[in-house]
Amino acid sequence: MLKISHLRDFQPGDGDGLFDEAPVPGSAEELACFAQLQRRLGPLYERVFPNPRAHRSLVVVPSLSMDPGFLAKIEGVAYYEERLLCLLMLLRLPQTHLIYVTSQPIGAAIIDYYLHLLPGIPGSHARRRLTLLSCHDSSPAPLTQKILERPRLMRRIREAIPDLESAHMTTFNATALERTLAVRLGVPIYAADPALNDLGTKSGSREVFKEAGLEPPDGFERLRDAADIAEALTALKRRHPALRRAVVKHEDGASGEGNAVFSYDGAPSGKALAAWVRTEVPRRLRFEAHDETWARYLAKFEEMGGIVECFIDGEDKRSPSVQCRITPVGEASLVSTHDQVLGGPSGQIFLGCTFPADRAYRLSIQEMGLRVAEVLQRRGALGRFGVDFISVRQGRRWKHYPIEINLRKGGTTHPFLMLQFLTDGTYDPATGCYYTPTGRARFYYASDNLQSALFRGLTPEDLIDIAVDYNLHFHGATQQGVVFHLIGALSQYGKLGVMCIADSHARAQELYHETVEVLHHEARRQTRARSTLYGEAAPLESEA
């Protein structure tokens, strides 16, 4: 790790001292400097954000500063840094400068693809205001850590910012690493203070829900070890004798990867229950993450803690989410609702989403999301966040259980931002729908996990050629069409992100399936050509 010497009189942005000497990470001086920087956001928000011609600079650091064990389970996770390329659409604002930093360089074809989507701005004009920087480091360490270990790279980031007073940084999530980077660059972060990150843990979420007057699934938080897990599972079964399953969750698990399900099938009643649960937990837990083991799972649980709660069953069960935002001037507002597309052994792994959520309940979860936003706003939170629910139909009504707060950007952030940037429309909280400037409703289906072994070997250039040949584009005239993301993961992992925008849910899903069919057709052509060349058997097709 980079060693930073102590400097009592350090101020954000003080020349060479920015890199040679700075407050010790986590020290009282760094916290004071960070608080000073964050106070810039309110005036910046009021002065710059409403004015499309205002000078501004945005430093994008799409670091997934999360537990490396969880991230290692996501195929192609290094390319998730590309998800925030939707922010290149801000270059449509003629006085905006954007600095985008990644672990590895992004291919020129991918950047050209996004710049081509810009409405009303020549690509050459936008490119002059875009600075792409890279650590040239493919290691699994968080991007922000890599940047901090490279003082010369930090200097280049700083030099690319025309005016610090009109600059801010955006990140996927904000941790102590991002706080240190903000102080050394001298720019604030439009995100919650890392000191508040506990509000977005599984236990913190449950506590916020209760403060907001919402009812999460019955359960226990702030658990630390196997004994706590067994005791909580036993107590839940005694409270709910008909309970069939419970879910155990790591405190900071992401996308469902830290979840495991415990079955009570065959459980005894009475005093024998506690001993039975203690014995069965290591054998019965079924993990959402592929190839997980009890030993590894328990070690991570003991490291970060977690919760146990009832597994919500139902014949008609959904997983909607609501996204909100708290501005630097303390205003809480709705952003969007989605129905999440989930997979995995018990349907807890995030695969994609449809927008907006079902009309039967979207307004209900909006109201619940705003109640959560009010609590977070009182606690001092800032920026975008999401609330995930499990919803079960009970007769003609839906029962909603809030299960998690994502105090960061998430899998629903980039598709909704892209919709806004491409269409210039507005979200109407009264209906829960999104409308173009001409009053037309727009819907989308988006996935980060379109994956097939057949896609491996397709390059970004190949994808763009296919898109051109089959007219798989977003069309400004109709404000409908297809937008790709995670393009860099395609060739190595056969993995791709797709967003399909249309005038109805049905048409958006139809467009998605048409896109998948085209990609498989072209991938099979490539496979046949490769097999002919090398005399190989074509690989078995698989898709997630």
SS (H, E, C) 483-522: EEECHHHHHHHCEEEEEEEECCHHHHHHHHHHHHHHHHHH
> Which has the closest alpha carbon to 230: 283, 289, 188, 159?
283
Residue 291 banded pLDDT, cuts 50, 70, 90? confident
In the structure encoding, which two tokens stand for residue 461, read together?
Answer: 């250039």
| Three-state SS at 216 | coil
Top pLDDT among 255 and 295 is at 295
CB 158 within 8 A of CB 18: yes
The Cα 358–Cα 339 span in angstroms is: 7
pLDDT band at residue 37 under the 50/70/90 scheme: very high
**Residue 322's beta-bridge partner residues?**
337, 387
Q: Are strands 259-263 and 286-287 parallel, antiparallel or unpaired?
A: antiparallel
Q: In this structure, are residues 453 and 539 in contact, taking their beta carbons and an 8 Å threshold?
A: yes
**Higher pLDDT among residues 542 and 5, named by residue:** 542
Q: What is the pLDDT of residues 232-254, one digit of tens each?
A: 999 999 999 999 999 999 998 76
What pLDDT is attached to residue 10? 37
Work out the average pLDDT over 472-495.
Answer: 95
Looking from the CA of 14 toward its CB, the CA atoms found within 13 Å total 13
The token pair at 394 is 């009970």
Q: Report the distance separating Cα 288 and Cα 74, nearest Å.
A: 12
The predicted model scores a pTM of 0.90
Sign for the CA dihedral angle at 368, 371, 375, 381 comes to positive
Asked if 448 and 413 touch (Cβ cutoff 8 Å), the reply is no
Nearest CA to 487 out of 115, 110, 136 is that of 110
Banded model confidence at residue 66, pLDDT cuts 50, 70, 90: confident
Question: 289: pLDDT confidence band, cut at 50, 70 and 90?
Answer: confident
Q: What is the per-residue pLDDT for 101? A: 98
Q: What stretches of 71-217 adopt beta strand conformation (E)?
A: 96-102, 130-134, 167-171
Residues 229, 367: Cα–Cα separation, whole Å: 33
CB atoms within 10 A of CB 483: 24
Tokens of 211: 């403060």
Give the largest CA-CA distance in the chain.
Answer: 74
Residue range 513-534: mean pLDDT, rounded:
84
* Strand partners of residue 219: 309
- Which residues of 331-440 form beta strands (DSSP E)? 332-343, 349-355, 383-394, 397-406, 426-428, 433-435
CA distance 184 to 30: 9
* Tokens of residue 472, six digits: 């798989």
pLDDT (average), residues 199-221: 97
Whether the bond between 356 and the residue before it is cis, its omega within 30 degrees of 0, is yes
Q: Tell me: pLDDT of 296 over 50.
A: yes
Q: Is 436 strand, coil or helix?
A: coil
* pLDDT of res. 538: 47
State the Cα–Cα distance between residues 377 and 384, nearest whole angstrom: 11
Cα separations in angstroms, 411 against 351, 417, 450, 484: 9, 11, 14, 14
Beta partners for 474? Answer: 481
How does residue 36 score in pLDDT terms, banded at 50, 70 and 90?
very high
State mean pLDDT over 455-483.
95
160, 38 in Cβ contact below 8 A? no
Q: What is the Rg, in whole angstroms, of the alpha carbon atoms belonging to the chain?
A: 24
The pLDDT value given to residue 345: 65
Range scoring the smallest mean pLDDT among 58-67, 285-294, 383-392 = 285-294
The token pair that represents 388 in the structure block = 């995930």
pLDDT band at 410 (very low <50, low <70, confident <90, very high): confident
Q: Which residues contact 149 (CB under 8 A, 6 or more apart)?
A: 1, 2
CA-based nearest residue to 278, from 267, 291, 293: 267
pLDDT in tens, 429-458: 999 999 999 999 999 999 988 999 999 999
pLDDT of res. 252: 87
Mean pLDDT of the chain: 91
- Give pLDDT tens digits for 122-150: 889 999 999 999 999 999 999 999 999 99
DSSP 33-77: HHHHHHTTHHHHHHHTTT-TTS-EEEEEE----S-HHHHTTSTTG
Residue 13 has pLDDT above 50, yes or no: no
* Alpha helix ranges (H) inside 424-500: 460-469, 490-493
Is 167:56 a contact under the CB 8 Å cutoff? yes
Task: Work out the pLDDT band at 255, boundaries 50, 70, 90.
Answer: low
